[in-house]
Amino acid sequence: MHLQIDRLCKSFGYGAARKEVLRDVSFAVNSGEFVALVGSSGSGKSTVMRLIAGLEQPSAGAISIDGRPVTAPGSDRGMVFQKYSLYPWLTAAQNVAFGMELQGRSRPEVRERTAYFLEVVGLADAARHLPRELSGGMQQRIAIARALAAEPQVLLLDEPFGALDIQIRESMQEFLRDLWQRTGLTALLITHDLEEALLLAGTVHILAPSPGRIVRSVSVELDHSSMAHLRVSAPFLALREELAQNLRSLEPALPC
């Protein structure tokens, strides 16, 4: 699998109200890679994700998977949103099964894969619970299971832990890193949290705001064997500080 994003531009509105959101964004994601896009609000990072998902059309530039252009949403690109993404009237298991049913898979296959992916995200016991009976972190794990069950070639994660509090966030980051290592999935993560990006991704692209454009790409070569250790290790903190300064310098100065 090779996801290629080529000179992507996006503007909203016409005439005087026209607002340029993205300018010439190019990068690639290959099978098994974990890539992160980091930017502050207004850097158009969510727009990049929506374009790749096919929920919006680019103003210029191209997106392709293995050479095939992306024009509409499809189950080859699974997406996990920041919030509100589980169907509140379906149980956890029914939510996981939802995408597979839309794909028209057979009942036994749906049942088997649902059980398997609930197991993968460690929530087999919660199968019969409604989303409102689950914590925020559990809900996002179900959303990830649902996206994975539809067998996407790439998993798009749009600030998946943005609505969670800090302790749950940290455990979810470990969960996601672990999931990535176990299943060999391909993931593209959008976040405003530099630490999250560096902990999870092998490649981090920094987006500058207004209009959104990639100003720096870093490949993270750190020892990822223990995330708790990594969080406080000197090379990690040094890299984080360097990139954080980079990000800060991109922000327009506050008016005095």
CA distance 189 to 180: 12
Is 130 a binding residue for other proteins by CB under 8 A? The answer is: yes
CA distance 141 to 122: 8
In the complex with other proteins, the residue whose CB is nearer, 153 or 199, is: 153
Q: Which of 53, 148, 189, 190 is the binder for other proteins (CB under 8 A)?
A: 53
Is 74 a binding residue for other proteins by CB under 8 A? The answer is: yes
Is 103 a binding residue for other proteins by CB under 8 A? The answer is: yes
In the complex with other proteins, the residue whose CB is nearer, 13 or 235, is: 13
CA distance 220 to 236: 9
Q: Which of 39, 78, 209, 211 is the binder for other proteins (CB under 8 A)?
A: 78
* Smallest separation, CB 141 to other proteins (Å): 15
Q: Are 25 and 48 in contact (CB under 8 A)?
A: yes
Q: Which region, judged by CB under 8 A, interacts with other proteins, from 18-26, 141-149, 185-193, 213-221?
A: 141-149
Q: Which residue has the tokens 């455990």?
A: 171
With residue 144 as reference, give the H or E element that holds it. Answer: helix 136-149
Q: Are 186 and 155 in contact (CB under 8 A)?
A: yes
Q: Which of 28, 60, 62, 102 is the binder for other proteins (CB under 8 A)?
A: 102
* Smallest separation, CB 57 to other proteins (Å): 8
β-pairing, 19-30 vs 34-38, is: unpaired
Site for other proteins in 187-226 (CB under 8 A): none
DSSP 8-state code for residue 159: S
Q: Are 61 and 24 in contact (CB under 8 A)?
A: yes
Size of the site for other proteins (CB under 8 A): 27
3-state secondary structure of 164: coil
Is 17 a binding residue for other proteins by CB under 8 A? The answer is: no
CA distance 247 to 236: 16
In the complex with other proteins, the residue whose CB is nearer, 156 or 179, is: 156
**Site residues (vs other proteins, CB under 8 A):** 53-55, 73-75, 77-79, 81, 83-85, 87-89, 98-99, 102-103, 130, 132, 143, 146-147, 150, 156
